[in-house]
Amino acid sequence: MARRPIRIAVLHFAHETVTFLKNDTTLDDFIYKGSPAKGEALLAHDPKSYMGGFVKVELVGIESPLWPKAGTGSGWITRDAYETFVGRMISELGASGPFDGVYLSLHGAMGVRGVLRPEAELARRVREVVGRGAFIVGTFDPHGNEDEEFLRQADMAFTVKYFPHYDSHLQGERAARMLVRAIRGDYKPATVTQRVPIISPTVLQWTGASPWMDLVQRALTWEAREPDVYVNFFFGFPFADVPDVGMTFQVMTNGNPALARRVADDMASAAWRQREALLGSAKVHTIPEGVALAKAAMARSATPVVLADHSDRSGSATWILKEIIEHDLSDVLIATVADARAIDALKANGVKAGDPFNMEVGGLVDESAGAPVRVQGTVLNAVEGYGQLWVVVKFGRGNVLVLSRYLVQVMEPGPLSALGLDVSAFKAFAIKSRVHFRRGFDDSGFAKTILLVEPVESFLGTVRLDGLPYQNVDLKKFYPYGEPQFP
Ligand SMILES: [Zn+2]
């Protein structure tokens, strides 16, 4: 008898929702050229990420929204946006079945108005359509907030282990392989989800430092010594005010619930033992402190220096720029200060290289952005790219400011050369990034000194989470804001 080919439906719905932002993520934010995508366009949309690893079996791309236009720069996803896309997914899934498996390409930190656990809810509705006979697998970002509910609805999950997220492609491959094995009866998922009452700001979660690195290694050790064991480590995303916020481990085994329990307990208690060190894994300076330390590092040639304002969620913050001007630093690249108004005005005036520049830039969008700062210099370059105009301004003693229209997280020095800059000419780089910059500035060996900074006030993005207006989370139930009993 000819064997019917395995059919797997593929759905994508991902966002890392900063619920404290005032601008909701609306239906319209998910609709743009290329999104929603279905069929081959969906399967090919991000070849270096999960889906690229996944596309090795016969797949049916169900129409799915790609990331919203605002990226991570928007708040709560509206109920309308969520229901519209999930509704369409579920009806297409029903109409194009039956399926042996469903792959959900997710993030895990999605916040939807009126839907408590949006990823688990999607899995629940998918289950209603495909039944218990089909297998459901999800891929996740380590910044997901997930509790027991997802694996109650779905069979398996695979989470990126490194931050920066180096292994998303690998996790996509695993998800594909394990889904096919489960469908063929070669893997019978027995899973455990274990929450750990630790909440941590994302800037501390770099897996290049202990003990974050040690927990990743511990998970890898379990995976290496026990065939068919997979350990997911959700660091959690504290900027979403959702009930399942915080740290979670998921363990998958091949039909061995006792082993899953043992590994989950081991991972959770290892994390709990290290809780103090987890919260102290990186030093975050005030901006004046950071700029003074940068100046000292430059004086002793410990360069290039990275000054990373990890907390700026709008991209418009001027705190570092102001301090650099006041301390008369030289040879610093500031990339970027986002200022839509300035960029639009410069564009309207036909800005070009060689123009004199004398403008107030940045600030204002909210209190965390600070006040505008006057910069006087010369336009070095004005470049259109990635859907925005970039204006490069030379000022002071060898300093360069890059103005952009939107928030830009500079992750690697190389691409800055597209703005006509010689990156080797700078002694310091003042950027807006929490951990992603480590990809190109730290893990690459580029920078000799790295300084994390944030303003004195507890603005959105701060490491002082008790400064945020949580409504759905009681911080006292989490270390370090309370002393919860664990295990
Ligand atoms: Zn992430």
User: Are 305 and 427 a contacting pair, CB within 8 Å?
Assistant: yes
pLDDT for 97: 87
142 Cα to the center of ligand 1, angstroms = 6
Helix (H, G, I), strand (E, B) or coil at 244: coil
Q: Residue 355: which pLDDT band, with cuts at 50, 70 and 90?
A: very high
pLDDT of residue 439 exceeding 50: yes
Q: What is the pLDDT of residues 252-290, one digit of tens each?
A: 999 999 999 999 999 999 999 999 999 999 899 999 999
Cα(97) to centroid(ligand 1), Å? 32
b/e map of 317-326 (b: 16 or more CB within 10 Å)? bbbbbbbbbe
For residue 192, the CA-to-ligand 1 centroid distance in Å is 22
Distance 329 CA to ligand 1 centre (A): 33
Q: What angle do CA 317, 319, 323 make, to 5 degrees?
A: 150
> What pLDDT, in 10s, does the model give residues 184-224?
899 999 999 999 999 999 999 999 999 999 999 999 999 99
- pLDDT at site 54: 61
Q: Which tens digit of pLDDT belongs to each residue from 386-408? A: 878 999 999 999 999 999 988 88
- Please name the helix (run of DSSP H) or strand (run of DSSP E) that holds residue 361, with its range, or none: strand 356-361
Distance 369 CA to ligand 1 centre (A): 23
- Kindly give, in sequence order, each residue whose CB lies less than 8 Å from that of residue 319, ignoring residues fewer than 6 positions away: 287, 309, 370, 453, 455
More confident of the two residues 73 and 328? 328
The tens digit of pLDDT for each residue in 237-254 reads 999 999 999 999 999 999
User: Ligand 1 centroid vs 7 CA: distance in angstroms?
Assistant: 30
Output the pLDDT for position 6: 76
**Residue recorded with tokens 């730290």:** 442
User: What is the distance between the alpha carbons of residues 30 and 21, in angstroms, rounded to a whole number?
Assistant: 17
For the stretch 326-336, pLDDT in tens is 999 999 999 99
Helices in 26-167 by DSSP H: which ranges? Answer: 39-43, 50-54, 79-96, 118-130, 149-153
Mean pLDDT of the chain: 93
Which pLDDT belongs to residue 57?
A: 63
Which of 329-333, 363-367, 434-438 has maximum average pLDDT? 329-333
CA of 392 to the centre of ligand 1 (A): 29
Taking only the tens place, the pLDDT of each residue in 131-172 is: 999 999 999 999 999 999 999 999 999 999 999 999 999 999
Q: Which residues pair with 234 in a beta bridge?
A: 248
Q: What is the average pLDDT across 310-321?
A: 90
Report whether the peptide linkage leading into residue 164 is cis, meaning its omega lies within 30 degrees of zero: yes
Identify whether the C-beta of residue 333 lies closer than 8 Å to the C-beta of residue 392.
no
b vs e for 292-306, b when ≥16 Cβ sit within 10 Å of the residue's Cβ? ebbbebbeeeebbbb
The Å distance, Cα 373 to ligand 1 centre, comes to 31
| Cα–ligand 1 centroid distance for 216 (angstroms) | 15
Span from the CA of 165 to the centroid of ligand 1 (angstroms): 7
pLDDT per residue as tens digits for the range 446-482 = 999 999 999 888 777 888 899 999 999 999 999 999 9
Measured in Å, residue 161 CA sits from the centre of ligand 1 at: 10
Cα–ligand 1 centroid distance for 317 (angstroms): 22
| Lowest mean pLDDT segment, chosen from 36-50, 99-113, 372-386, 395-409 | 36-50
Q: What's the CA-to-centroid distance between 15 and ligand 1, angstroms?
A: 10
- Cα(434) to centroid(ligand 1), Å: 11
User: 80 or 409: whose pLDDT is higher?
Assistant: 80
| CA of residue 202 to ligand 1 center, whole Å | 8
* pLDDT recorded at residue 276: 97
Distance 164 CA to ligand 1 centre (A): 8
- Please spell the DSSP secondary structure of 132-157, one letter per residue: TTSEEEEEE-TT----THHHHHSSEE
CA of 482 to the centre of ligand 1 (A): 25
Cβ-Cβ contacts under 8 Å for 226 (sequence gap 6 or more): 253, 259, 263
Taking CA atoms, 446 is separated from 206, 282, 441, 449, in Å, by 17, 19, 5, 9
Which pLDDT value is given to residue 390?
94
- Residues 6 or more apart whose CB falls under 8 angstroms from that of 483 comprise none
**Is the Cα dihedral 123, 126, 131, 137 positive or negative?**
negative
Q: Does residue 1 surpass a pLDDT of 60?
A: no
- How many percent of the chain have pLDDT more than 70? 97
Give the pLDDT confidence of 20-63 residue by residue, as tens digits: 888 899 999 999 999 999 988 888 887 776 666 565 566 889 99
Q: How many Cα atoms occupy the beta-carbon half-sphere of 487 within 13 Å?
A: 12
Contact call for residues 405 and 341 (beta carbons, < 8 A): no
DSSP state of 236: -
295 CA distance to ligand 1 middle (Å): 31
Cα–ligand 1 centroid distance for 143 (angstroms): 5
Residue-wise pLDDT tens digits, 169-183: 999 999 999 999 999
Q: What is the pLDDT of residue 147?
A: 96
Beta carbons within 10 angstroms of residue 356's beta carbon: 9
107 CA distance to ligand 1 middle (Å): 8
Distance 366 CA to ligand 1 centre (A): 24
At 437, the amino acid letter reads F
